[in-house]
Chain A
Amino acid sequence: MNVVGPGSYRSVKNRISSLAFSLVCAALTLGFLLIDSRSASALPHAAGKIHPIPAFARKYGMPCSSCHEAWPKLSPFGQAFKDNGYQLGNERDAPIYQNPSYWPVTFRITPEWHRESSNRVAVDGVIPGSTIEAQITTHGFDWSGLDFHTAGTLAKNISFYVLPSADSTGAFHFESVWARLDNLLGSSWLNLKFGKFELDNLQSEKRTLTLSSVGGSYQNYHFQPLVTPGAAGNARVSENLYRNGIGDNQVGLEWMGHSKDDRTRVSAALVSSNDGQPNFTANNGAEPFPTGKSYNGFVSASQAFEIGSLGLQRVGAFSYIGQAPTYFQVTSGGTGIAGTGIGNKGFYRAGLIGMWYVKKFDVTTMFFHGWDNAFLGSNTPANVPLPAGARAATWNGGLIEPHYTFSPRLILISRYEPIRMSRQAIATNAASFGNIDAVTVGYRFYPFISSRAGFAFHNEYAILRQRGAAPITGRDLTTSSFLIGFDFAY
């Protein structure tokens, strides 16, 4: 644990932080003003965890802006390309038509300077053995993990995606591993995907325009109710043991269908309830949740329509339903055996989404509802009695994400996500316990647009407040991130 020093030290530290922040901003801004601007100015209009894939741009000779409104956010054309199994359908999709030297690989990394702050972190107190809350702020130069996107077609109507991904220390894992049979029986309504993949989220967390620690994921996709509020001198805040982030890539099988013009899209997936973790019987020693033998289902449907000259609008709905184990089977010594999670209890998430365009302005709106069985909501193993008064937890969430796309080279980003508990699993918890408000603002500037590589100057600030989540005092917990950096893929 860290020890918080005297106030004067913190003051000096904050000043240093502000100075460093100013210097970094000034240096990067100056860098852009002085950058060799030939590429940028030669284009009168055009020219994170995310999936912009210049390998496709190289394969088809099309600029990033064809498939991305602002990479990595997909345009309707890019969405159709993806839905068709990374194929344009012009009889030139199979690898046999590519130059033999073509290699369907894209690398992506983001060198950055970022600042992270949390206002109430448990640290050692001055009195030996005591624990107090203190604000912790850190900042410095850094880089994101490195993604190796390999994707495309193995043959006509057989597509694939393999994404080995390293964290910033170089430790690798597989973010995506799947193959897909496209247009079975000649129908765009019959596509089967098998492996580890992103659920068919219209509001894709893998193509979000935000990168920071706080703003780089959607709170609604990962929210789970808090169970026990912090209290002085005893328990820390905890949440359910199981994980089921809708935004996370999951392991399973997906059927997807779409109309030829991609206006209508439907999908259904059956996935293991291990949140995309591989080798679930070993538990990898990292995940605390009881990896089990249950399955979850995800369904989604959406319809796009034109409104005059405003653009293509889309509305949709989705639901994620399943069961999660609440405890392990154990050895004679009482140790949980990975992969044996039992005592399954149910949960679901459901939502409505709208993607609205008014020429260069667009806004995504989402309503989200969640329900956890009382055992899951109160984090109680199913083989022991529920706490007195325990009940199913429910909550509602929202998302409003407006963008303004000046041109394919500049996009302004903002987002607001509120989450409100509508029923606490533990009745004695405050009604607002665990509520979230998250705000993100930022912009991305692309100095050039080409079919060979992508480069963005990224600047973002995100702040999140969760009610009653402070680990000791049970007060509100606020965390924030500031990020400025170069995001590039090639």
Chain B
Amino acid sequence: MRARKTNSMGLVLITILAGTSPIAAQESHVGHWTGHGDAGKSLYYRYCWGCHGFRGDGNGENAPYLSVLPRNFVTAAFKCRSTPTGTLPTDEDIFISITRGLNSTNMPSWITLTGQQRADLVAFIKNFSPRWKNEKSGEPIQIPAEPALRLESIRHGKELFTKLECWKCHGPEGRGDGPAAPSLTDSNNQPIHPYDFQSGSRFKCGSTNVDLYKIFMTGLDGTPMPSFADVIKPDDGWDLVHYLRTLQITHRSPELRLWESTPDGAEIVKAAKTSGTPTGSGNYE
């Protein structure tokens, strides 16, 4: 008798879920691939639901155990974008996030999926939020060509780091231990740690200078990291990039080597190396 009852419950659940699961009508366009939501649906329910949840709301069965909560596709607020803050990302932005994964989180790289499969997933994910029906993706920001690396650029970037009060969260040495760090929360009201530059060379949204430029020019939506597009001139942005690279003392970048070739730079780097051991534990933003 009980079995019959639970079977009935199962049928009801199936009906409910079938009614509420997204209609996979969206498409995506990435390079030469056209992603189809229908194809992405089966991929999503094979690979993604455990963290992102059946309804894409970030409430998968493992979400409670993750230090960085999975993306909520219903709100459609994405951290890694090429578009201005508050706007929807491009299909390619989501494609790149799936391909690359998000460093220091449980989101791995899905580069082993075929390009078509990743494009299909992008298409399906867009069905979870009504925003995709009512809004278009933002226009990617314009990124000027990176100028040649000069010492003046690093010094100017250092001034910007102080002037824009980046240190308040990231700390004066970029350890993610600024005075505001302990009180930061994300859009889920979860504590969030500023990025610790000394922990490595990879950021959550990439590892190149262009990726770093995009991070502070678009902001990481859903986190306290704002967009600085309105306060930093495009060319000044590169100066900040060059300086931020010198904070990554465990990564031998050209910027760090140039900075260490100066007496004051060498002294700062030496002090940073001896004043503490990189923890690698605050690598969240």
Contact = CB atoms under 8 A, between A and B. Distances in A.
A384 interface: no
A330 to B, nearest CB: 54
Interface string B60-72: 1110011000000
B2 to A, nearest CB: 8
Contacts of A61: 50-51, 60, 62, 65-66, 106
A90 B50 contact: no
A340 interface: no
A260 interface: yes
Given A37-B9, A76-B113, A89-B101, 16 more contacts: A38-B10, A42-B17, A45-B45, A46-B49, A60-B108, A61-B60, A63-B49, A63-B50, A77-B113, A88-B101, A88-B106, A90-B102, A92-B104, A92-B105, A261-B111, A261-B112
B224 interface: no
Nearest to A360: B42
B216 interface: no
9 contacts: A40-B10, A41-B11, A44-B21, A61-B66, A63-B47, A90-B103, A308-B116, A408-B46, A451-B62
B109 to A, nearest CB: 6
Nearest to B12: A41
Interface in B4-20: 4, 6-7, 9-11, 13-14, 17-18
A279 to B, nearest CB: 39
B200 interface: yes
Nearest to B107: A90
A450 B61 contact: yes
A307 to B, nearest CB: 9
Contact of A77 (B10, B60, B112, B202): B112
A36 B2 CA distance: 8
B103 A44 contact: no
The 6 closest A-B pairs by CB, nearest first: A61-B62, A45-B45, A41-B10, A34-B3, A88-B108, A37-B10
Contact of A76 (B18, B107, B112): B112
A91 B39 CA distance: 31
A208 B150 CA distance: 58
A364 interface: no
Interface of B: 3-4, 6-7, 9-11, 13-14, 17-18, 21, 39, 41-42, 44-47, 49-51, 54, 60-62, 65-66, 101-117, 200, 202, 280, 283
A274 B20 CA distance: 58
Nearest to B4: A34
A65 B114 contact: no
Contacts of A306: 114-116
Interface string A75-89: 111011000000011
A260 B108 CA distance: 13
Interface string A29-53: 0000111111011111111000000
Contacts of B111: 80, 260-261
B106 A60 contact: yes
A42 B49 contact: no
A381 B42 CA distance: 58
A89 B14 contact: no
A188 B111 CA distance: 15
Nearest to B283: A91
Nearest to B117: A311
Contacts of A309: 39, 116
A260 B112 CA distance: 9
Contacts of A77: 47, 110, 112-113
A66 interface: yes
A62 B62 contact: yes
A62 B48 CA distance: 8
A262 interface: yes
A79 B112 CA distance: 9
A33 B202 CA distance: 50
B120 to A, nearest CB: 8
A47 B114 contact: no
Contacts of A41: 9-11, 13-14
A72 to B, nearest CB: 16
Given A44-B17, A44-B18, A90 B108 contact: yes
Interface in A226-270: 260-262
A317 to B, nearest CB: 21
Contacts of B9: 37-38, 41
A407 B117 CA distance: 16
Contacts of B54: 42-44
A90 B280 CA distance: 12
Contacts of B50: 61-63, 66, 450-451
Nearest to A452: B61
Contacts of A47: 45, 49
B42 A62 contact: no
Nearest to A45: B45
A450 B21 CA distance: 19
A60 B11 CA distance: 31
B14 A44 contact: yes
A350 interface: no
Contacts of A260: 111
B30 to A, nearest CB: 14
Contacts of B105: 90, 92
A4 interface: no
B104 A90 contact: yes
Nearest to B109: A89
A312 interface: yes
A335 B9 CA distance: 70
Contacts of B107: 90
**Among A43, A62, A260, residue most surrounded by chain B Cβ atoms (within 10 Å):** A62
A65 B7 CA distance: 24
Contacts of A88: 101, 106, 108-109
Contacts of A261: 111-112
